[in-house]
């Protein structure tokens, strides 16, 4: 029987999900060309989940608080661990997840939200509640200086959409149904229920380290 992609890694990490959304073929070549040492054991994966639960059960103070911590959980037979840039607490309760990017053109894409969307599902699984009002916050800054300014502003107003010359802050409300639908499709690959689906483009394939082995590459890349 063919080895499932999940068995090669043991735990699905956030950067793997982002790569998968970018191009599933690239993800596949990445994880199949690695050595055995990259695999996380079942025991290690369980400890990651326990560590997340310990952090989530730690009482928080009043006001706005940002926690930088990995979120790990077991969902649909797969261990997943993500490292959002922050879990945002308001008055002791989880109110948002935040991710930041540096991009000179300030553009952002639906794929930028995927780890936040999956993060919402992981939190719900761990806490046993639905987080219908959870905010997903994406900050895109032109430079490190712009990011610093954006984060200072975010300390005060974490969920307010804002656009400045050097940064933009976009907020979405977490949608459980949409997140489940996206993750289910992604997990079909990890659980060996379907093959990988390339998402080529001239830009992606031109800069892809696996283009020499990939029959789906765009020919003029
Ligand atoms: S060459 Fe293009 S299609 Fe192939 S893995 Fe790379 S990005 Fe994907």
Query: b/e map of 110-119 (b: 16 or more CB within 10 Å)?
Result: eebbbbbbbb
Q: Is the CB of 211 under 6 A from ligand 1?
A: yes
Span from the CA of 110 to the centroid of ligand 1 (angstroms)? 19
Q: Is the CB of 76 under 6 A from ligand 1?
A: no
Q: Which neighbouring-strand residues pair with 80?
A: 12, 73
CB-based contact 161:171 (threshold 8 Å): yes
> Quick one: which of 34, 10, 39, 6 has its CA closest to 20?
6
Q: How far is CA 116 from CA 122, 182, 201, in A?
A: 10, 12, 25
Ligand 1 atom with least separation from CA of 29: 5
Q: How far is CA 102 from CA 5, 62, 147, 151, in A?
A: 30, 30, 7, 12
How would you write the pLDDT of the chain (221 residues) with one tens digit per residue? 578 999 999 999 999 999 999 999 999 999 998 755 568 888 999 999 999 999 999 989 899 999 999 999 999 889 999 999 999 999 999 999 999 999 999 999 888 899 899 999 999 999 999 998 999 999 999 999 999 999 999 998 899 999 999 999 999 999 999 999 999 999 999 999 999 999 999 989 999 999 999 999 997 65
Nearest CA to ligand 1 atom 2: 205
Q: Is the CB of 27 under 6 A from ligand 1?
A: no
Q: Is the CB of 97 under 6 A from ligand 1?
A: no
Span from the CA of 43 to the centroid of ligand 1 (angstroms)? 34
pLDDT in tens, 66-121: 999 999 999 988 999 999 999 999 999 999 999 999 999 999 988 889 989 999 99
Which H helix or E strand runs over 97?
A: strand 93-102
Per DSSP, helices labelled H in 4-79 are 5-9, 14-22, 24-32, 42-57
Query: Domain 5-213 class?
Result: alpha beta
Span from the CA of 135 to the centroid of ligand 1 (angstroms)? 32
Give the torsion through C-alpha atoms of 200, 204, 205, 207, to 10 deg. Answer: -170
Q: Is the CB of 26 under 6 A from ligand 1?
A: yes
Domain-wise residue ranges, the chain: 5-213
């Amino acid at each position: 029987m063919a080895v499932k992609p999940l068995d090669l890694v043991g735990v699905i990490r956030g950067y793997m999900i982002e790569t998968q959304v970018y191009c599933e073929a690239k993800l596949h070549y990445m994880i199949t060309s690695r050595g055995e040492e990259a695999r996380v054991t079942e025991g290690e994966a369980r400890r990651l989940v326990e560590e997340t639960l310990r952090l989530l059960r730690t009482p928080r103070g009043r006001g706005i608080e940002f926690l930088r911590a990995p979120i790990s959980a077991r969902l649909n037979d797969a261990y997943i661990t993500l490292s959002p840039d922050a879990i945002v607490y308001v008055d002791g309760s989880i109110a948002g997840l935040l991710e930041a990017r540096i991009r000179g053109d300030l553009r952002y894409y639906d794929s930028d939200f995927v780890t936040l969307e999956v993060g919402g599902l992981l939190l719900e699984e761990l806490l046993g509640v639905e987080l219908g009002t959870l905010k997903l916050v994406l900050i895109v800054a032109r430079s490190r200086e712009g990011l610093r300014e954006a984060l200072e502003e975010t300390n005060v107003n974490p969920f307010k959409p804002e656009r400045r010359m050097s940064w933009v802050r976009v907020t979405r409300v977490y949608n459980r149904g949409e997140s489940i639908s996206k993750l289910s499709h992604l997990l079909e690959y990890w659980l060996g229920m379907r093959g990988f689906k390339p998402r080529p483009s001239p830009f992606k394939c031109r800069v892809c380290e696996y283009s020499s082995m990939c029959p789906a590459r765009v020919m003029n890349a």
